[in-house]
Structure 1
């Protein structure tokens, strides 16, 4: 009889423990699900990955850190933002695919590398279209600019803003470049796109598409004779260590799009989305403010290092390039859309 009572008591204790465990597990599971339930109130506990391909001492990285700090502070640590510079996570050839797959939630991409998706991304590749960062920003913030940035929504990507990297300038290892004739026979790296290829073709120069992360080695090994880039990209990646001449021209630009995964953004509840959108603005403001200042400092650093011979075009020399590139506008205005080019040309007027 005692054994029967003891056995019954043990069964009762085991049953109670099982019930308590089940109740406790249900509570934990509910909490776990609520973290990413966009219908819930309160800031969601999430991790955001932002990947970009340039160095830490660039305006893109300044903007990335401002984005990170704002979101983490405003969410009181509930949102963690992980920033991966220098192509540590993904290179420029696969980062957009990774963004579309939601492997990263945010990235920045040189708009000229997106021309295969939409011809309108050729805008920064048209020579002398914008006289300054301010004009470029005004265009990309406009209705026409945002129409272009929204072109990837069909692929699950939101275009958020343009972060200016600045006007580009030529470097090479062969000779000073003072006139269109000086480019004849040179082999130059390009970010890609038919407009840039035709820009070089008009100068009788060849073009080769090389990922930014591989450019230093390509210049060092003589795969190409030169490249065109912003001061800050040239200085931060130390391209002047493997080049001899720099021509200040500012013909085309590196304008960078800030993009987000659509599925991720749509999964956020109102409170979380508000913080993330404010972080996007904080990052954009910081990147734009830093761009001009950092390019000026980078140019001074390049001159101080003394690795390259620097030449600045006169107005007369610059006009010779304008004339050479007139056929590029004639060819691509119908392709890109005359209304977009006209809107860009009317900025600041």
Structure 2
């Protein structure tokens, strides 16, 4: 019932949801205590169940149920049913939820700016390159840094590469001129859009469809699975396959909750999550291809494939985003990431 109350609350202004978080935290905790098993783990996320993240969360839930015999219960809340983009991290810190999988772009504003490296345009060529970073020493170091902000980093999940959608094709920097583009709250993403002549507009993911429908924004960047499951085609008929940026997630938990678990329970959850993440990462590439095939058959959707020369022009145009991040973070992390891409 508490989840239903929160879902019914207006999404903006953000202060309303933050006020609701404080007011309903006690009620939510009370209801959870009244009916919880030995361990109750609430897993909240903001996308649809049939996305890589949605499927990963459901696989994690099923594996825990199977291996714990019902003694540990995982409740999954998709589509911002429990907490939205703008308040889920605060909910985690306050103990109103035990597990999240926020977009990597969100951690910069949450006090871990090193994660903004994942927002650099044209950094990765494919998911194999991404995993050289996330599954290696660089990724482990980044997860450890989340402890500075009262989050325990547990693993990375792929969603895929972002494409541009708008009411016109976006093949050249001139095509972006003057467009209001929805982005996540990331300095790198905002710098990227400004370099292209567009105006970045920061909005929670759950508000994207409404913003496009009402004309608050003109364009957006999304992996194909998100574009499809959010039903953006009626307002964004032109989909340009720019493959310009990566979108992934980090699974995080509340450190106090994790520390409160018995060692055997932590081991069980760690094992189930590792298997669920492997499943989600396998799905990411497959669902991306399925979404592309579906969109090719969708009436009214026009797909555009920039030529190699057009992609090179776009890559040069967004160089200021690279320069800005190198100035703010220093060369160390960028060098580590690029070395990981080379050495594998």
TM-score (norm 1): 0.85
344 and 306 in structure 1: CA distance in 2 versus 1, 3 angstrom threshold: farther
Question: What is the rounded CA distance, in whole Å, between the counterparts of 1:317 and 1:296 in structure 2?
Answer: 23
Question: What is the rounded CA distance, in whole Å, between the counterparts of 2:146 and 2:337 in structure 1?
Answer: 21
Q: Structure 2: any 5+ residue segments left out of the alignment?
A: 1-32
- Return the match for 2:102 from 97, 109, 113: 109
Q: Structure 1: any 5+ residue segments left out of the alignment?
A: 1-35, 37-43
Q: Secondary structure at the match of 1:61?
A: helix
Kept in 1, the 8 Å contact 2:239–2:303? The answer is yes
Show the counterpart of 1:54: 47
For residue 348 of structure 1, report the CA deviation from its aligned partner: 4.8
Q: Secondary structure at the match of 2:244?
A: coil
Kept in 2, the 8 Å contact 1:248–1:311? The answer is yes
Question: What is the rounded CA distance, in whole Å, between the counterparts of 2:149 and 2:337 in structure 1?
Answer: 26
Kept in 2, the 8 Å contact 1:195–1:328? The answer is yes
Show the counterpart of 1:26: none
Q: CA RMSD in A?
A: 1.5
Mapping for residues 1-349 of structure 1, pairs under 5 Å? 45-116=38-109, 117-173=111-167, 175-346=168-339, 347-349=341-343
Question: What is the rounded CA distance, in whole Å, between the counterparts of 2:164 and 2:119 in structure 1?
Answer: 14
Kept in 2, the 8 Å contact 1:140–1:146? The answer is yes
Question: What is the rounded CA distance, in whole Å, between the counterparts of 2:329 and 2:302 in structure 1?
Answer: 36
Q: How many residues align?
A: 306
Name which structure has the greater RCO, CA cutoff 8 Å, separation 6+: 1
Question: What is the rounded CA distance, in whole Å, between the counterparts of 1:337 and 1:230 in structure 2?
Answer: 29
Kept in 2, the 8 Å contact 1:54–1:85? The answer is yes
Whose Rg is larger? 1
Kept in 1, the 8 Å contact 2:192–2:320? The answer is no
Kept in 2, the 8 Å contact 1:130–1:344? The answer is no
For residue 151 of structure 1, report the CA deviation from its aligned partner: 2.3
Kept in 1, the 8 Å contact 2:143–2:154? The answer is yes
Q: Secondary structure at the match of 1:241?
A: coil
